[in-house]
Amino acid sequence: MKGWQKVLCVVAAFLACFYLPIENLRFKNAVFEALALVKWYAREHVLLCLVPAFFIAGAISVFVSQASVMKYFGAKANKFLSYSVASVSGTVLAVCSCTVLPLFSGIYKRGAGLGPAIAFLYSGPAINVLAIILTARILGWQLGLARAIGAVIFSVVIGSLMHFIFLKEEHSRQANGDLQFDEVKAARPLWKDAVYFFSMVAILVFANWGKPLEGDTGTWSLIYASKWWITGFFLIILGVTLFSWFKKEELKEWTGATWGFALQILPLLLGGVLISGFLLGRVGHEGIIPSRWVEALVGGNSFRANFFSSIVAAFMYFATLTEVPILQGLIGSGMGKGPALALLLAGPALSLPSMLVIRNIIGTKKTIVYISLVVVMATISGMIFGLIVK
């Protein structure tokens, strides 16, 4: 940074502090909302969502051979297989836009092609089975069906477009020395590694099993009532596998990789959550931007309404399932069906915190293109849906 730029930064920081509107009630509320959201996020998502995800990402980077990742997700992999697996990953991983980031980073750095990795990044939080079921039950089967179909198509289309847009860079990356690999003999039989990974994924899934609707006595409700017993069972299995099948050096390398992912991702996420809370607040609470502005701009099915809904959804942080009650309130305030679908397709897959981390993993240019593709496709899909369902 040049000398005059440093001076400008210092002057700007001083003026911001000098004119800080601490007497303004909306500003005070926005600061409170930022702190309240980051507190809620730390309590509800860091321990149960992010910590297991960090351990899984660390395990991918250490124990999954680069040859295996390249075989299924690399440049020479069967495109139908790689995109099919990536596009339905959310049916297994009921994660939010932030929890999926360590997993995305893990497979991308092990050599996965940009296209399949992006398809995985989008589908992880977007194709959440419970969220789709709740959408259909609460908001109508049309929105639920459109969300399910749209999310699968989006993941494949956006992943494919990212691959072709950055084709030259991908060829260069795949030819780079960092992604060259030699076949190495596996330290354990494949089934042992499968048990190890499955137990970690099961812990992530069941520890975050969502609360069923009132009066629901089905399988989902039974699993929710027993989720800590099930989680404990898989914790025991994980402990046995670690004690019986892994060397001390391997465990040290695994925990080191896990810590590396946490240091890389967690500060950006918490900073992003603070900003998101300050700007847009929590569910049912306003940030610095009045909610009536949002509601006034997403009525009907115009291009403006769909585009605005996509933009706001892309930057706002949605924890898993929270988009449904938010939409319920917005639809009750006059939000159109098209903008509602646009929010469902752009919101869960993106957030300001996740954008900061994605930029750190794949760079600014790829991140901007990815965000733009999500927003544009969500806008178009919303307009089409709004014309079909009135």
Question: Per-residue pLDDT tens for 193-208?
Answer: 889 888 988 888 788 7
CA–CA separation, 167 and 336 (whole Å): 38
CA–CA separation, 272 and 290 (whole Å): 19
Q: Are the beta carbons of 27 and 281 closer than 8 angstroms? A: no
The answer to the question of residue 189 being in a domain is: no
The answer to the question of residue 208 being in a domain is: yes
In this predicted structure, what is the pLDDT of residue 147? 87
C-alpha 157: how far from chain center: 18
Give the pair of three-digit tokens for residue 280.
Answer: 């847009």
The pLDDT tens digits of the residues spanning 318-356 come to 765 667 666 766 776 567 888 989 988 888 788 888 888
Q: Are the beta carbons of 350 and 118 closer than 8 angstroms? A: no
> Packing angle between helix 100-109 and helix 114-126, nearest 10 degrees?
170
Lowest average pLDDT, out of 86-90, 175-179, 225-229, 312-316, goes to: 175-179
Give the pair of three-digit tokens for residue 134.
Answer: 């709740």
Who contacts 262 (Cβ-Cβ below 8 Å, separation ≥6)? 50, 54
Residue 296 has pLDDT above 60, yes or no: yes
- Give me the residues paired with residue 335 across strands: 299
Q: Are the beta carbons of 61 and 97 closer than 8 angstroms? A: no
The answer to the question of residue 188 being in a domain is: no
Percent of the chain with pLDDT over 70: 80
Q: Are the beta carbons of 299 and 71 closer than 8 angstroms? A: no
The answer to the question of residue 16 being in a domain is: no
**Within the chain, what is the greatest distance between any pair of CA atoms?**
66
CA–CA separation, 113 and 336 (whole Å): 37
- The tally of domains found in the chain comes to 1
Q: Look at the block and give the residue holding tokens 């709740």.
A: 134
DSSP at 218: S
In this predicted structure, what is the pLDDT of residue 178? 47
Which amino acid is residue 344, in one-letter code?
Answer: L
Could you tell me the pLDDT band of residue 4, with boundaries at 50, 70 and 90?
Answer: confident
CA–CA separation, 57 and 48 (whole Å): 15
In this predicted structure, what is the pLDDT of residue 180? 47
Compute the CA torsion angle 211, 217, 220, 225 (nearest 10 deg).
60
Give the pair of three-digit tokens for residue 101.
Answer: 């980031």
How many CA within 13 A on the CB side of residue 249? 1
The answer to the question of residue 235 being in a domain is: yes
Residue 292 has pLDDT above 90, yes or no: no
Could you tell me the pLDDT band of residue 184, with boundaries at 50, 70 and 90?
Answer: very low
Domain that includes residue 367, residue range:
22-180+201-388
Which amino acid is residue 11, in one-letter code?
Answer: V
CA–CA separation, 284 and 256 (whole Å): 40
Burial of 6 by CB count in 10 Å (0-12 exposed, 13-18 middle, 19+ buried)? exposed
In this predicted structure, what is the pLDDT of residue 379? 93
Count of other CB atoms within 10 angstroms of residue 227: 17
Residue 182 has pLDDT above 50, yes or no: no
Q: Mean pLDDT for the chain?
A: 80
Kindly give the residue spans of alpha helices, DSSP state H, lying in 166-284. Answer: 167-175, 190-207, 219-225, 227-245, 248-280
